[in-house]
Structure 1
Amino acid sequence: MSKPRAGYHHVRAHIRRNPGPRGARRMSGWLTVGLIALAVLWVKFFGLGDTSANTPTEQRPTPSVSQPAPSRG
């Protein structure tokens, strides 16, 4: 077997590139999913802040006339 060129090495029956230096540690997929889930739950339970400007004013229901319940007797 011939020697691979610089920056590569043999892995079983094929040639693979050598791993390079990692400047900053990358986030894993599960960490990303966890952060998104945390953000969704935060918004669900705590909201995005002051939303009183977007909500309509408080409306009280008006009583309506209804028929009296039939008496049993």
Structure 2
Amino acid sequence: MAPVPSHSAHPDDAPESYVGLDAEDAGRLARSRGWTTVRSLPPGSIITMEYLAGRLNFEVENGRVRRCWHG
């Protein structure tokens, strides 16, 4: 019997590809690539450390993505 394919917890996507993009454009692009949750945060934000599969985080400054990570 063939193995059952497993669905990745998040899209096969490089978070660094969003750095430098306009935040709104980056959010639309991320959703089109399969991210279920996209979170934009200002630099230095206090955030929870829980990991959420399918979430992409943007650190946004002056309307541009400065840093990006998943979870």
Give the structure-1-normalised TM-score: 0.19
Bigger RCO of structures 1 and 2 (CA < 8 A, at least 6 apart): 2
Bigger Rg over Cα: 1
More strand by share: 2
